[in-house]
Amino acid sequence: MSDILKISNEDIIYHLKISCQIPSLLEAIATRKVITETAEKAGITVETAELQQSADSLRLANRLIKAEETWEWLQKHYLSLDNFEEIAHLNILSTKLAHHLFAEKVEPFFYAHQLNYSAAVTYEVILDDEDLALEIFYALQEGEISFQEIARQYIQNPEIRRAGGYQGIRKRSDFRPEIASLVFAANPPQILKPVITPKGVHIIIVEEIIEPELNEQMRVQILGDLFTNWLKDQVNKLKIVATLGASLNFSSSPAEILSKAS
């Protein structure tokens, strides 16, 4: 067998098809078209300096410091310099379109959904036995045992065990609803009475409640969320018709599919 494997355009499309990647690919193409067409209608343009900054950010994101590294990356991804510029152009265009559509809506959205952006610092141990969980809960309240001791004894995951059950900073949406309501009603530092979920019996310490602040990071997050949701809605409204070539288009009848599948 030769060391050179030649792959055609049809091979690539066929692989995308049999690996069930066509729908996500079409959605990505439709998203790009929605961005470019909407930006054009809104009269949004990209200045040379903005394009250069976007290209620099693209190189930085992919750790392309030297010219040789950029060239190798382009070859790996079968991209030309013009393609690279197109990517940078789409990135900055997306950013400017997001600001055009939603910059003025970020603040009212934040205050209308402020509770969703609250966060909590928690420690957690999950047990299988409710009676044991209650026993441990009361022992914790009386100071007869520390949470670190419980974590060392009952947490299987080594990293979480070493961290004493630390769950990090988590938003309200990161918790199950029945747990979120208790966590965000707590008066930290507080040990919550065991909570039963399908995963088991949770013993949780709420160390801190972090009230949301509309800083620059939060603005970027909300702007991105609003823009992403808008894009999904726009794409969902479209009827996407793809031409993949006569031999690759869907042509089987339901009866034929059932016959081949049985």
In tens, the pLDDT along 18-27 reads 999 999 999 9
Tell whether 244 is covered by a domain: no
Note whether 122 and 195 are same-domain residues: yes
CATH code of residue 180: 3.10.50.40
Note whether 102 and 230 are same-domain residues: yes
3-class secondary structure, 254? helix
pLDDT (tens digit per residue) in 211-245: 999 999 999 999 999 999 999 999 999 999 888 76
Q: How many domains does the chain have?
A: 2
Tell me the residue ranges of DSSP E strands in the chain. 119-127, 166-171, 190-197, 200-210
Mean pLDDT, rounded, for 162-174: 93
Tell me the whole-structure pTM to 2 decimals: 0.75
Question: Bridge partners of 131?
Answer: none
Note whether 206 and 222 are same-domain residues: no
Residue with tokens 């160390």: 207
Full residue range of the structural domain in which residue 196 is found: 118-210
CB of 69 within 8 A of CB of 123? no
pLDDT-based confidence at residue 30 (cuts at 50, 70, 90): very high
CB of 190 within 8 A of CB of 206? yes
pLDDT (tens digit per residue) in 48-58: 999 999 999 99
